Structure 1
């Protein structure tokens, strides 16, 4: 009787361990490529934003220099536009 109980308990433990191993999710790496793509897009957006910001700052400085030098409003605006467009490569 005692052996029977031990076998039953041992068999139950083995079955529980096997069931737990089968139910638990396997290690997956399916997210890695998606994460890398998102990170690349994020870096591209950040680079583009930095380029635009640098162009804006340079354009503001150029317009202010033009105004300080006595340039007229239309020419200073055009200079600012050209500076911004040159910064972004358009």
Structure 2
């Protein structure tokens, strides 16, 4: 009778240990993804800010039309998006 209780106890402890390890590995994965998303958002926001200042500088220094400077802004933002994609993968 005591042998079967020991066997049940061992299986219970083994199962709980396995469940705990799986939970910890899932939490670590979520943390990595969270950090990647945050870094991607930061990159995207800085690209937007860079694009805004580039457009203002373009209009002030080159005396170009708004349309000509708008394309430069689009390209800068697109570069930021591509960098964000590289971070996430």
- TM-score greater than 0.5 by the shorter chain: yes
Rg bigger for which structure? 1
User: Alpha-carbon deviation of 1:87?
Assistant: 2.4
Measured on the aligned residues, the alpha-carbon RMSD in Å equals 2.3
Higher RCO structure, 1 or 2 (CA under 8 Å, sep 6+)? 2
Alpha-carbon distance, 1:30 to partner: 3.0
CA distance in 2, matches of 1:89, 1:29: 36
Structure 2 counterpart SS, 1:29: helix
Q: Which of 48, 52, 72 is 2:40 aligned to?
A: 48
Residue ranges of structure 1 left out of the alignment (5+ in a row): 1-21
Name the CA distance, whole Å, in 1 between partners of 2:58 and 2:76.
Answer: 12
Task: Give the deviation of 1:37 after TM superposition.
Answer: 0.9
Gaps of 5+ in 2: 1-8, 84-89
Find runs of 4+ consecutive structure 1 residues off by over 4 angstroms.
none
Aligned length: 69
CA shift for structure 1 position 84: 1.0
More helix by share: 2
